Structure 1
Amino acid sequence: MASVVIPGAAAADAKPKAPASPEKRSTPTQPVTECFDETPKRHRICVRGWSGEAAARRAQQVRRRHPEMFRDATRESAAAVEPAACGFGSPWTFDPDPERFLSCGELWWELFAYETNDDGTVEITGSLNLNNRQWNGYGRTSTAWTHGLTIRVLEGRGTLATGSPVVITSLCGTAAGPNCRVADTARPASLTPGSVHSFEWTEEAVGLAPESAEGNVVGQENLGVRLASDDASGTPWEFDDNELWGRCDNALGGQPPGCVNPYATPTMLVERVRYGAAAEMIAWAQQNLEGAWGVEDGGRPLHRLTGPLSEDNREIMCGRLSGFVRDPVLDAALSTYNDQDTCDEFPFASTYESGPMEEDVNGDDKPYVTTGAQCAQVTAYQTASTGDLPTDFARVRVSGDPTGRELCIRGHIPGRLNSGVGGKYIATINEFRILDRDAFWLTVQ
């Protein structure tokens, strides 16, 4: 038997790494401040924004000082429905990427004005605090989405005690979001302390090519809104709140185009009641092999692989030279079910984690197998006679003495159960628009 291959370091002239689809995006944790001048320049207004842990601390401070503003705010426009999945209002439960078809953003902003005195000292003359909540709700089979915004105006002091008039515009179609368009984008508002403003836009992707052409994936990054002062008597200011993300594609054969949040990792669900021993084989691998492929809690995600490499992987795992021979005992047991023994493998041949893959999703060298015989081996066996295939063949028996360090698992699995999991994989790809290099979890239940 050939040994598992563990590559050495890549050569200096190796090909560049292919970027992986992001699994989680990071947000800035330090305040970001930008200032705007008035003439004379000794008068200035600035805007400062917080996110991450800084936002959490800011939220606590404002809530302690002004709890009434969160209970009795006056809503000055029609309410947009905030998705519960975003976890708005609690910095410890807020999630920018809670679902495959939802992107969320929540930032805390402060406007503050100051003057520079003749002696060079600086005096703060006013401040105004805002809480912005935004979301994009995408569709699996639509290139248009709903963009919602809620602005909660908190405390105001000094020259900004009564707030500030503002015009709010969608960033769709601007330099920040050049790959989408929106109609009727301007929304005027008066940022009066204690008020809440809600708005919605219908935005749509542009630039998608036909399915067979290049350019059929279009990123939607840095989306959100621009807030700009609408007060001719004051210092002009503006800032972008652009923490929303998305991706639209026409890359799934036979499927209409659609959009997702690529930073939200979907989950493929494999039910034992439907897939019997095929599901059990995956569960055994997740629980007993170091790879922990697809295990969200403490494991690592799988990544979809497209192209001819998936067929090469399948050939190495189960093909003519793989050493796989159908089990006559299992074949005999399956004959009354009009089924037969087949070769099944995990991680799937159409993932970058497949045993024969020589490079991972990032283009880095990885250990690999040269035959499926190097994987852990299991065989389905009959435990009941109800006439229901997944019920009667729900368990697997381990062959030999696996070390737990095997790079894959290969099994003798009833054909219909094997193909059933394969069909579920394709359905999951279509359901969540999982493209090449996209990550996904796999849960057996």
Structure 2
Amino acid sequence: MRASPAPAKRAARQETSGAAAATCEISSPGTYTYTRFGYCVAGVNVVYILRDTNGKEIGRGTLEVSTSATLQKNATTWDEQITVRMTSARDAVTALTAKFRSSCGTGCTATDDEPWYGGNLVVGQFHTGTVSYSSAPLPGATAEFTTAYRMYVTSPGVALVDPNAGWDNPAKIRCDDAVGGTSPAGCAVPSVMPVVPLKTTAGEPGGAVAAYEWAQRNQQGAWGLRGHPLTRLTSGVGGRTASTCGGFKQEPELVNGDRCGDFPFGETKEGGAPGAQCVRLIPSLGSGEWDTYILNDAHEHNPAAPCVQAHVTPDEKAFADDQLAEGFTDQRVIDRDAFELTISTPDTGPDIRCREDDKPASALSNGDGWFWNTTEPVPLVQQTVKELGAGERPTRALACVGRDTAKGTGTSGDITGWLDARAFRAAHPADSTLSRCHLVARILGGKGSTEITRFNLVPCWHSGLNTGTPSMRTFEFAAQNLIKGPEEAFGSSDALLYEVTPVYKNENSTIPIGVTMSATIQRANGTNEELFPNVYITNTVKNTGQFNLGN
């Protein structure tokens, strides 16, 4: 809602050759309030003054006018409620008769311009009724106009021509048949910016919605947030979409039926940035809420990048596209209209305060912090050696890291999937050796040399997931440099919540196709700071994107 000042008052004076004259003027212009589909005014005061033949005031009365109207999103007719109340009278004026007329500008017709007929008012009494309007824009066209009002007032028994006062609604109304698609014609207040919502729950295909929300929060463009509106542009949509999705490299092992979700949308003027300049994102649903990860090259994340490419399923892409189209229809967003975009995704609550809360029961101490690994069963611990039977695979590694973090240990043994990795390496001669990758890094206190701690390890390419640029090592060093760096940057009472999650192809997999990583600084004063955003590193050779080890 917003309020606007009313226009300057207009007054008319009517005199007779008899013993008296009367004037009618607006003493208070009232306050107008608008929504996208409605308007109202309150406190328009019209004062009637009666004078004798010498010009001396012999009485006066005050009428207060209020009006309200709700426009129809899917029709071009509407009613406006008009109420006139007599609020004061004195001396020779004890009652007033008020006639009311409405009108509207070009492109609009006042189909019923009188809200009532006749009748006197005394203080405390009121007249109320409706006036009606209609507009008939041609297909693809718009009509903008204002509504106007005039009131004719006299005092019963005074033989004078009715003095009158008039005023205009200061904001325009727009009726259009230009939204497109199957949307019928309708009306709105164009000066009120439309707000288009995108939302998802944990049970809906909301990957694209989640990725677009991440972009709003993490890119400087803040596309669609308040103060950073998008502008609908109906021509050239396909070209802008093709530009932003240019060079899109599908990742079918990571996303079923991988499709490009372009943001800002090709449906907007802000869309169309070259795909080579975009941040690549993969949304992931876990623990009831969506997380979004930067794909592989997060160390080069540029907050000023003009676009994102989201790797999403066809259902996720269609789910967001349908909501955008519905939002245009619901808010009557036509070509060249600016609009805000509100995005909501499920939030299961704040992250734990790792230095304040008790560590998980199965967590292992790590200097002044801890680390914790979780597992889940798999039918075969080594798919290539079935006689070894069922086993467990790592599912999550979480660590609370402080300045006094102890050094971790090395690796050993046939961890889950290790024999499968060796078989893949034999069948696919690649320019890299195999490694057992720590999920919680050794330099951050992670261990992997005992039966218990081996679930902190997954098979990986040494030059690829383990080391290189980009790799897990890129972000492990960022964490190490923080906790071992100057105390001004990371104090003894601060903590780093560090998380790594293996991503598997299916429920039988023994080797991940990649890992997600994130790290959040938890300050002693209760605030959080992101050390690096959610990132995704693929289990491929070097930076070639080839020979994904995941099974």
Q: What residue number does 1:144 align with?
A: 77
| Residues paired across the two proteins, number | 333
**Cα 1:380–1:253 shift into 2, 3 Å:** closer
Secondary structure of residue in 2 paired with 1:97 = strand
Output the CA distance in 2 between the equivalents of 1:241 and 1:192. 24
Paired residues for 1:7-406 under 5 Å: 26-28=4-6, 32-39=9-16, 43=21, 45-51=23-29, 55=30, 96-98=33-35, 100-113=36-49, 124-159=57-92, 161-172=93-104, 176=105, 179-183=108-112, 185=114, 187=116, 188-206=118-136, 208-209=137-138, 211=139, 216-219=141-144, 221-229=145-153, 233-234=159-160, 236-243=162-169, 245-251=172-178, 252-273=180-201, 274-296=204-226, 299-308=227-236, 310-318=237-245, 322-327=246-251, 331-334=252-255, 339-354=256-271, 356=272, 369=273, 371-381=274-284, 383=286, 394-398=290-294, 399-406=298-305
Output the CA distance in 2 between the equivalents of 1:344 and 1:178. 40
Structure 1 segments, 4+ long, off by >6 Å, are none
Secondary structure of residue in 1 paired with 2:213 = helix
Q: What residue number does 1:438 align with?
A: 337
Gaps of at least 5 residues in structure 2 are 345-551
User: Cα deviations across residues 198-221 of structure 1 (Å, max 9, x unaligned)?
Assistant: 101332224x22x2xx6x3222x3
Sequence identity, in percent?
22
Q: 2:309 aligns with which of 402, 407, 410?
A: 410
Q: By percentage of residues, which structure has more helix?
A: 1
TM-score, reference length from structure 1: 0.65
**Cα 1:300–1:411 shift into 2, 3 Å:** same
Task: Specify the structure having the higher radius of gyration (Cα).
Answer: 2
Calculate the aligned-residue CA RMSD, in Å.
3.2
User: Cα deviations across residues 301-348 of structure 1 (Å, max 9, x unaligned)?
Assistant: 22221112x222112111xxx322112xxx1244xxxx4211112221
Q: CA deviation at 1:431?
A: 2.0
Output the CA distance in 2 between the equivalents of 1:158 and 1:291. 65
**Cα 1:295–1:238 shift into 2, 3 Å:** same
**Cα 1:179–1:138 shift into 2, 3 Å:** same
Q: CA deviation at 1:422?
A: 0.7
**Cα 1:253–1:49 shift into 2, 3 Å:** farther
User: Cα deviations across residues 59-108 of structure 1 (Å, max 9, x unaligned)?
Assistant: xxxxxxxxxxxxxxxxxxxxxxxxxxxxxxxx6xxx6222x332222242
Gaps of at least 5 residues in structure 1 are 1-22, 56-90, 357-368, 385-390
**Cα 1:421–1:217 shift into 2, 3 Å:** same
Amino acid corresponding to residue 97 of structure 1 in structure 2: Y
Output the CA distance in 2 between the equivalents of 1:266 and 1:289. 22
Secondary structure of residue in 1 paired with 2:265 = coil
Q: CA deviation at 1:117?
A: 9.4
TM-score, reference length from structure 2: 0.54
Secondary structure of residue in 1 paired with 2:13 = strand
Higher relative contact order (CA 8 A, sep 6+): 1
**Contact 1:104/1:133 (<8 A) preserved:** yes
**Contact 1:380/1:414 (<8 A) preserved:** no
**Contact 1:170/1:201 (<8 A) preserved:** yes
Q: CA deviation at 1:142?
A: 1.9
Q: What residue number does 1:65 align with?
A: none
Q: CA deviation at 1:435?
A: 0.9
